[in-house]
A and B are shown apart, each in its own frame.
Chain A
Amino acid sequence: EAQVTQNPRYLITVTGKKLTVTCSQNMNHEYMSWYRQDPGLGLRQIYYSMNVEVTDKGDVPEGYKVSRKEKRNFPLILESPSPNQTSLYFCASSFLAGELFFGEGSRLTVL
């Protein structure tokens, strides 16, 4: 089954404790992207990747890192999480210029 898988789905952590949200797709998509969704602000793009070893900043990259060592994986790293990074995070993938396929979301709370 074609899918985008994010883990963990729910996480509560404390300020400063590094964490990684994994994202994997099985559709051989070139493009992958991370978004955060906050009430009243819609989806804001954090980072995206057009292909392996190619990543670019989106609208809100501060406090986040990503890597794209393999085509199928695009982890989102929070080196030192802060409470303002409490949010619902979505990973998505697509062929270039195609429709996005979204994961089910990862709800992160930073205390």
Chain B
Amino acid sequence: SQQGEEDPQALSIQEGENATMNCSYKTSINNLQWYRQNSGRGLVHLILIRSNEREKHSGRLRVTLDTSKKSSSLLITASRAADTASYFCATDARSGGGADGLTFGKGTHLIIQP
């Protein structure tokens, strides 16, 4: 079933500000992944955080994972107009024998105002 649930559904901020998106999920996972999608294109992988990790960085991206609360957050610092896109979290229970494959939430639509 669809595991991840992103919050907020939509977010509009000024260029240069930080953007924070949250993801909550329901069952045990092996890892959690964040993806970005530009306007009807294929999704592009941003970052993967394993269940035994608490924080991970990649460039202007910072991801946290709290398995006790079953939640994750994606922070984009110093946002740019080009960051305008939809962002999805995906919960991965595959290698642990999970029956659901890799499932996505409904996404957060981020708009960066120039």
Contact = CB atoms under 8 A, between A and B. Distances in A.
B99 interface: yes
Contact of A41 (B35, B90, B100, B106): B106
The size class of the interface chain A forms with chain B is 20 to 34
Contacts of A33: 101-102
A25 to B, nearest CB: 12
Given A42-B107, A59-B2, A100 B43 contact: yes
14 contacts: A4-B42, A35-B104, A42-B106, A43-B43, A43-B88, A56-B101, A58-B103, A92-B43, A96-B95, A97-B31, A97-B92, A97-B95, A100-B43, A105-B42
Interface of B: 1-2, 30-31, 33, 35, 40-45, 48, 88, 90, 92, 94-95, 99-107
